Every structure is written in C-alpha cells, then in structure tokens.
Structure 1
Amino acid sequence: MRVLLAAPSSPARLHNLVPLAWALRTAGHDVKIAGRTSFVDEILSTGCVAVDLEDGDGTDLAESAALVEFAELWRPGVVVSDAAAPAGTAAAEAVEAVAVRLLGPLDEPGAGFDTVPPSLRDGAAGARPVRHVPYFGPVVVPGWLRRKARRNRVLLSLTDATPAGPVFDAVASLDAEVLWATDPARIPAGVTMPPNVRLVDAAPPAAVLPTCTAVIHDGDANLALAAVTHGLPQLSLTETAIGARIAAAGAGEVGPAERAGELASWRGGAEAVRDEIAALPAPRAVVAELLRA
C-alpha cells in the first residue's frame, strides 16, 4: 500500500514520525514523506523517500495545495499527518484515503495514534497509544563514549549558556560526571566550571542516554520523553506541558537548578514510566491497525 506522511518543517516533529515510517517500510509498504523544499535534506537524512512540495504556493503544511496535488497524482491509500500538518487530512479527503494523526510530545492530547504514554496525557480521549522510539537523526558515536565511564553520568542540555553559572553551582556537589556538549567559548565570562563538569564537542542523545543516570535540560520536549523512555529522572529548568506531566508522574521536576541534588529521588517514577512505555505496542505492531484506521 502507498502511505504518504506529511511533515512540517520541524526536525523534532519529523523525528516523531520516523519510527512509524520505518515500520511501514519494513512491512513492505511504499512510504514517502512530504515536506517543504528547505526541509527535504532533513527528510532524506532519515533514510526515507522525500517529496519536495516546493514553496510556490507561499503557505506551510497547515494549508498546502501542493500536498493535495501530489496526493491526487500518487493516490496513497493512507495519509499520516503530524498535528502541525493538518493539510494531510485535506489530502486524504481529496483522494478518499485513510487519514491518520500521529501525536507526540509537542502536541496536546487528542484522537489519533499517540507516542506519549497515557500516564503523561490529560484526558486523551480516542487516542491509541504506540510505543515511543527515541530518534534524533543520524549520529556518530563519539570516541570518548567508547570508553566505560568511571562514575555516574548526568547529561546536561542547555541551548542557552546564560544560566551556566547557577547550573554549575548546583551540580558541583553531585557525585557524577556532568556532560555538556558545548563550545567552551559560550560559557559566560567569570563563571567557574566545577571539576565534575565535562565539556565535549558532541553528545548525541541516542548514543549518550543509555549511559546516563539522569538528565538536566532546558525544556526540550523530545529529550524529556526520550529520558523517561530510558527510565532516567530529569530536571527541566523551563516549564513545558510535557515537563509538568513528567513531574506529576514523579519522574522528574520542573524548577531551578538548585533542585539537581534531588534527581535520584525521582528514579522510581522515571522507571515506572519507562516500564509503561515498554509495554505499549511497538510501531511495527500497530501498522495493521493504522492501515485499518
């Protein structure tokens, strides 16, 4: 069967679609992912076939005539849309295909397939859960990661280095190596880095998370869900919807860096969510259901 996936120009949203795309491909279906010209290389990096919708109609995938035109040409039997690409529904209707929504950590609860486990959703009526498979794009395992860590490891992920000072003060007392992938030149002047903080050129989550005992981040929703998938307690320095739900489940907290010393106390909650996710049907197990949706 032909299956068309509609991806908005967001790596995080695309990455939520990829495990399902690959499950469909390995089940023998013809799968294509449609996106804007500026996003085609990102789609290709997933190993999937990309459809360049071009930018001629001046709109995004919320209302894309180009997506409908391609669907009318290719005639897919199923159109899978990210919640931020509702044009997929219009494309499905245009060719009388099955329309499917796939929700992720950036979306509000609703009907469709959902990669966020039920315990982290509020009133997700009509949602059919599917196991979250963390995907962050192609990565290379860095050389330093091929050596066994000598102590516990905490992944630090900050897109903005401004709060480095308070974070460093908070993690200095942790009995762990705190790993941060950043350029040392980004650290604000006058900030002293404690001995247990290690700066590296790259720390791809797909490679690093299985070696960690906890995560500190600044609100990255995909990293937050990946962390609980690995059973890792987390501290989010920024308030987000998924962060608040993880905190409510006892798997982490949203708050200031000073709470880093409490990470170990949230391990039980994180492991409970991990077990819940592991018990959900994998993408390959819901392919048949998706095609009947």
Structure 2
Amino acid sequence: MRVLLAAPSSTARLHTLVPLAWALRTAGHDVKIAGRPAFVEDILRTGCVAVELEDGDASLTESAALGDFAQLWRPEVVVSDAPAGIAAAREVGAKAVRVLGPDDEPDLVADHTLDVVPPSLRDNGSAGEPLRHVPYFGPVEVPTWLRRKARRTRILLSLTDLSWYEPIFNAVSEVDFEIVCAAELPAGLALPPKVKLVDDAPPAAVLPTCAAVVHDGDESLALAAVAYGLPQLSLTESAFGTRVAAAGAGLSVAAEGISRLADETLRAGANALRAEVAALPAPRVVAAALAS
C-alpha cells in the first residue's frame, strides 16, 4: 500500500506523524512524507523518504503541487491536516486521514480522524479515533552526564521565555530536586546549586529519568509528560494545560508551584493518565486498520 503524509512546516506536527509513519513502513507499506523545500531536511532526519513539493509561495495547506504528486504516485492513503491533503485524497480515491494534536479542531471531514490525546484530556468537540501517542523529538544521543545516577529527584526545566528563569531559580531554594535545563541564561542571573546547566537535554533521553517537568506551554513536551506519567507545571495558561490540571496531573500556576510537584496526588493523577495512554491502540494497530 502507498501512503502519502503531508507535513506542514512545523517540527512538532511532523514529530506527531512519525510513529504512525514508522508503523506503516515496518508493516511493509511504501511511505513518503511531502513537505516544502525548506522542510525537507527535517523530514529526512526522521528516517523517512521525503518528497519536495515546490509551488511558488503557496503553503502546503494550499499547494496544488500536493494534488499533482498524488495524481502521479496514486497513494491509497493520504494523511494530512490540510485542505489540500484532503482534496488530494479525494482526487485519487484514497482514504483521507487526519491526526489531531492537543488543541486541533476536527473541522475537516476525513475518512479517519485520529486523536493522539487521551479521551479524558480531549476537548468536548474532539471525536477522533484513538491513537496512542508515542513521544518523538527527532534523533538524539544520550549525553554523557545522563549516564550517571541523579543524586536527587530530577525535574526537567524547559523554557522558551527567558524571563521565567529568575522566578523559577528563586523558587528552587524551597525544594529538594535536581533541576536540569539546557539554555543560555539571561546575563547576570546566578545559577542555584540545585540547578544543573547542560549543553543538551533531549527530552527523549531525559524524560524517563525525571519525576516531573516544568515548561512554559510547550504542547509537545506537555503531551510527552502525560505519556511518561510525569506531573507537570505549566507557567503559562493553555487549554491543554488546563485540562491536565483538571485531571489532577499538573499545575498551571506561578513558579512557586514547583514545590508542589512532589505531591502524591499529582503523581497519582499523572500515573492514571499514563495508563490511559498505554491502553490506546498502538500505531501498528492503527496502521493495520488503515490497510484493511
């Protein structure tokens, strides 16, 4: 079976598709991932075959090149969150498949709408078929520092807004954690003794060694924390973070909330979500269903 995945120029969205792409490939299907020229290298790093689509300045969501390639290659399945992908599937009589992320709306009509978010964390408007989320962040190497056992309970700190570092560093004096982060800190900010500043902290390698995660709204990291059963502190409000907090698996509060991440109630809530994710159909099961 030929399967065409159309990846928007978003690394996070591409990474959501990769476990399904791998499952289809290992089942013996011919899988190609189409993307804009500037995104081809990102696709190649997943280990999949890339198709470079050039269509002037049009985005992949509008690109006629996607439909042209589908007419040429004749896939049986087209996986896409874009109107152009759904249209391409219809043009060649292929199954149209969508894969929803944490806050995507099921606003496009597809033959199969797959949802990687566990049912208890879905918005009321989501009605997709379940697909177990397998966290993927690209190729990584386990860093040397991670091969040594942590002295304290470890927390991954991952921030995109540098202004959060100072309040977090002020709050860590109240906790007995090892805080790991990989960042260029703001000038003049002193590094607390409990914080380990490293060159690289790849989530795929670090998360299995952690007891919790602190972030400022990164949905990919938040969903990975759910899959690993880790309590999480989101420093910014988001719809997904609010649902995680409502499930008793996280907090969406100020930096001082880091002292509450060792709470057994949060750990129990996070473990319940992990069990829910593990019970969902694995990518290989969904791949087999798409091929039937």
TM-score w.r.t. the length of structure 1 is 0.94
d(CA) in 1 for partners of 2:68, 2:177: 54
d(CA) in 2 for partners of 1:169, 1:269: 27
Aligned to 1:274: 274
d(CA) in 2 for partners of 1:39, 1:202: 23
Decide which of 67, 71, 91 is 1:94's aligned counterpart: 91
Gaps of 5+ in 1: none
**One-letter amino acid of the counterpart of residue 58, structure 1:** D
Q: What secondary structure sits across from 2:163 in the alignment?
A: coil
d(CA) in 2 for partners of 1:233, 1:217: 11
Larger mean CA deviation between 109-118 and 3-12 belongs to: 109-118
Aligned to 2:194: 196
CA 1:230–1:125: 2 relative to 1, 3 Å:
closer
Deviations 1:226-269 (A, max 9, x none): 01111100000111221111111111011110111111221111
CA 1:275–1:11: 2 relative to 1, 3 Å:
same
**One-letter amino acid of the counterpart of residue 104, structure 2:** D
CA 1:28–1:287: 2 relative to 1, 3 Å:
same
Aligned to 1:287: 287
Is the contact made by 2:226 and 2:273 (CA closer than 8 Å) also made in structure 1?
yes
Aligned to 1:162: 163
Pairwise CA distance, 1:125: 5.0
Pairwise CA distance, 1:58: 1.7
Aligned to 1:57: 56
Task: State percent identity of aligned pairs.
Answer: 66
d(CA) in 2 for partners of 1:229, 1:157: 17
Cα RMSD of the aligned pairs, angstroms, is 1.3
d(CA) in 2 for partners of 1:194, 1:172: 8
**One-letter amino acid of the counterpart of residue 228, structure 2:** H
**One-letter amino acid of the counterpart of residue 202, structure 1:** D
Q: What secondary structure sits across from 1:242 in the alignment?
A: helix
Deviations 1:7-26 (A, max 9, x none): 00000000000000000000
Q: What secondary structure sits across from 2:42 in the alignment?
A: helix
Q: What secondary structure sits across from 2:59 in the alignment?
A: coil
Gaps of 5+ in 2: none
Describe how 1:117-196 pairs up with structure 2 within 5 A: 117-183=118-184, 186-189=185-188, 191-196=189-194
Larger mean CA deviation between 22-31 and 58-67 belongs to: 58-67
CA 1:109–1:176: 2 relative to 1, 3 Å:
farther
Larger mean CA deviation between 11-20 and 117-126 belongs to: 117-126
